[in-house]
Amino acid sequence: MNQQTIQTAPNTVQEWWKTGIIYQIYPRSFQDSDGDGIGDLRGIESRLDYLVDLGIDAIWISPIFPSPMTDFGYDISDYRGIDPMFGTLEDFDRLVAATHRRGLKLILDFVPSHTSEKHPWFVEARSSRTSARRDWYIWRDAKPDGSPPTNWISEFGPSAWTWDAGTGQYYLNIFLSEQPALNWRNPEVQAEMLDTMRFWYMRGVDGFRVDAITHVAPDPDKGDHPPNPAWRAEMNPSQRFLKVHSKHQPAGFDYVRMMRQVTEEFPDRVLIGETDGELKEVMAYYGADFDAFQLPFNFTLQDAPWELPEIVRRIEAYEAALPEGAWGNWVLGNHDCARIASRAGPAQAAVAATLLLTLRGTPTLYQGDELGMESAVIPPEAVQDPWEKQVPGLGLGRDPARTPMPWEPGPTHGFSNSQPWLPVFVPVEGDAAAQRADPASMLNHVRALIVLRRKTPALTLGSYETITAQDGVYVFARHLDGDSYHVCLNFTDTPRPCPVSGEVVLSSYVHEGDGAAHAGQIAPHGALILKAG
């Protein structure tokens, strides 16, 4: 196994987004305050103390702006407001203040690659070919036979081109037809969107997670996409062609640098990118001079089979690919993929959380993963996700990871006082209140991990070293200034000898007499952290 070490400077103050933990809130499903069955800003505010108790440092809230909600807020019709479903600008200002009062940071979602078709800009753009905003979007003529200008397929199934009968041209939509792609090559679009970032920064926002950034500069003049040799008919239709002309285009990196420059106009802010791609593409989003994203999201474990040595192989590959001086990050779940507790199996949830919170780099924890929430089975009549509706039956739907938080006993488990927009499911270990009261719960394991991480600089700043990955046991070390910690993870359902020794500082099985019981062994599906003697 490779050995990766980095030089860290223990005596300098590290930026909060390096040592902190980010927690993603999916606002529709966090807490409803007004009884419409959909979470909202006042709901989030009312649950901030839960997050303080959990120990996280920053919240990232998925989009809360005015939207027809065709893609649940990722189709924005006004970048500078709050959708009434979520509250008002005043509620937002209150939430910022309440968040900051508790010492937490607040990160918003920025969706620069496309608007809603209902956005006044698009309404104007499609009103005539000579409209002043026509060029804010991407229009092309049909081929002579009337078919779309290129063979591009949208992320959500059909062609990426939608015919606009009124003006007799196609417009590009990388996602739904209702999400026309903005034309960032137009300087007016750049100026307007960058000013939108300033608008929110001035309201106190601490950063942005930038949506779909890999798609920000599609170049249809380059023509058709080549076929993907790995694609089979039963696969996601969107992967049929290789998106060599629509994703990761050179101009996109310029736009990220512009966003970063705006971010630098304000002290202490962070820019995070939704950077899906091969490792070398992800690394490019740091910028050649570290002038792009501070944190290009690292999704390498999100689509990994939960098995050794594959997990270790991916961790090492990421460590090896990180440019010198770049700060890494880890993601195990979000509102777009199956829950980690389902991908790894519910029994492995504590192992997964331990990994997320002890690897080198900033962790982003998805709401509910601290409770071991699983992907829910959504009955067909309850399906909400437009992707599932457009491409049914392939398991692409995202509703299973978006069900509301189960807080406490009650008809909706404390989420709402009317019928929730998606059914509420309680994980095997119980709702948040029950888990908080049970010392051996997943929630308390995550809390303990965060406490340990906070007081142990080696776990945030230390170097990473693989010790072993054999017989279902993965052990890695974090080293800093002569201090070493070993993280020992049992990926199997039987006890395993622990290959390293030391003082147990944390165990996922906190039953009576635990320290002794664990001498020399890791429990089935167990996680141990040892301080090397």
Q: Which residues are catalytic?
A: 211, 265
- Complex with ligand NOJ: residue 212 or 489, whichever CB lies closer: 212
- Exactly one of 26, 30, 60, 74 binds ligand NOJ (CB under 6 A); that residue is 74
- 259 interacts with ligand NOJ by CB under 6 A: no
- Complex with ligand NOJ: residue 105 or 335, whichever CB lies closer: 335
**Residue 175 interacting partner from ligand NOJ, Mg ion, none (CB closer than 5 to 8 Å by kind):** ligand NOJ
Min CB(481)–ligand NOJ separation in Å: 39
Nearest to 319 by CA among 271, 282, 369, 277: 282
- 211 interacts with ligand NOJ by CB under 6 A: yes
Tokens 């689509």 belong to which residue? 303
**Residue 36 interacting partner from ligand NOJ, Mg ion, none (CB closer than 5 to 8 Å by kind):** Mg ion
- Exactly one of 32, 40, 57, 71 binds ligand NOJ (CB under 6 A); that residue is 71
| Binding mask of the shown chain, residues 332 to 351, with x at each position contacting ligand NOJ by CB under 6 A | ---xx---------------
- Complex with ligand NOJ: residue 113 or 508, whichever CB lies closer: 113
CA angle 351, 353, 359 (to 5 degrees): 95
CA distance 27 to 41: 7
Min CB(47)–Mg ion separation in Å: 13
CA distance 485 to 462: 9
CA distance 5 to 324: 10
- Complex with Mg ion: residue 44 or 359, whichever CB lies closer: 44
**Residue 211 interacting partner from Mg ion, ligand NOJ, none (CB closer than 5 to 8 Å by kind):** ligand NOJ
Min CB(408)–Mg ion separation in Å: 18
| Tokens (6 digits) for 234 | 């039963």
Segment holding 272, helix H or strand E: strand 270-273
- Complex with ligand NOJ: residue 175 or 200, whichever CB lies closer: 175
Print the SS3 string covering 456-500: CHHHHHCEEEEEEEECCEEEEEEEECCEEEEEEEECCCCCEECCC
**Residue 71 interacting partner from Mg ion, ligand NOJ, none (CB closer than 5 to 8 Å by kind):** ligand NOJ
In contact, 205 and 106? CB cutoff 8 Å: yes
- 388 interacts with Mg ion by CB under 5 A: no
- 212 interacts with ligand NOJ by CB under 6 A: yes
Write the DSSP symbol of residue 281.
H
In contact, 528 and 506? CB cutoff 8 Å: yes
The DSSP annotation for 2-51 comes to -B------TTSPPPHHHHS-EEEE-GGGT--SSSSSS--HHHHHHTHHHH
In contact, 424 and 37? CB cutoff 8 Å: no
**Other Cβ atoms closer than 10 A to 292:** 24
Return phi, psi of residue 199, to 5°.
-50, -45
- Complex with Mg ion: residue 30 or 79, whichever CB lies closer: 30
- Exactly one of 4, 15, 19, 34 binds Mg ion (CB under 5 A); that residue is 34
- 254 interacts with Mg ion by CB under 5 A: no
Site for ligand NOJ in 395-454 (CB under 6 A): none
Straight-line distance from the first to the last Cα atom of the chain, in angstroms, rounded to the nearest whole number: 23
| Binding mask of the shown chain, residues 77 to 116, with x at each position contacting ligand NOJ by CB under 6 A | ----------------------------------x-----
**Residue 40 interacting partner from ligand NOJ, Mg ion, none (CB closer than 5 to 8 Å by kind):** Mg ion
- Complex with ligand NOJ: residue 91 or 109, whichever CB lies closer: 109
Min CB(443)–Mg ion separation in Å: 24
CA torsion through residues 524, 531, 318, 283, sign: positive
Nearest to 408 by CA among 425, 432, 428, 427: 432
- Nearest-CB residue to ligand NOJ? 74
Tokens 């959990």 belong to which residue? 54
Write the DSSP symbol of residue 181.
B
- Complex with Mg ion: residue 36 or 254, whichever CB lies closer: 36
- Nearest-CB residue to Mg ion? 40
**Residue 491 interacting partner from Mg ion, ligand NOJ, none (CB closer than 5 to 8 Å by kind):** none
Min CB(173)–ligand NOJ separation in Å: 10
- Exactly one of 79, 175, 200, 293 binds ligand NOJ (CB under 6 A); that residue is 175
Min CB(86)–Mg ion separation in Å: 7
Q: Which residues contact 6 (CB under 8 A, 6 or more apart)?
A: 324, 360, 463, 464
**Residue 34 interacting partner from ligand NOJ, Mg ion, none (CB closer than 5 to 8 Å by kind):** Mg ion
- Exactly one of 21, 22, 25, 38 binds Mg ion (CB under 5 A); that residue is 38
Strands 105-110 and 207-210: parallel
| Tokens (6 digits) for 175 | 């996602």
**Residue 212 interacting partner from Mg ion, ligand NOJ, none (CB closer than 5 to 8 Å by kind):** ligand NOJ
**Residue 525 interacting partner from ligand NOJ, Mg ion, none (CB closer than 5 to 8 Å by kind):** none
Cis omega (within 30 of 0) on the bond before 309? yes
| Binding mask of the shown chain, residues 260 to 299, with x at each position contacting ligand NOJ by CB under 6 A | --------------x-------------------------
CA distance 475 to 481: 20
Binding site for Mg ion (CB under 5 A): 32, 34, 36, 38, 40
Contacts with ligand NOJ, residue ranges (CB under 6 A): 71, 74, 111, 175, 211-212, 274, 335-336
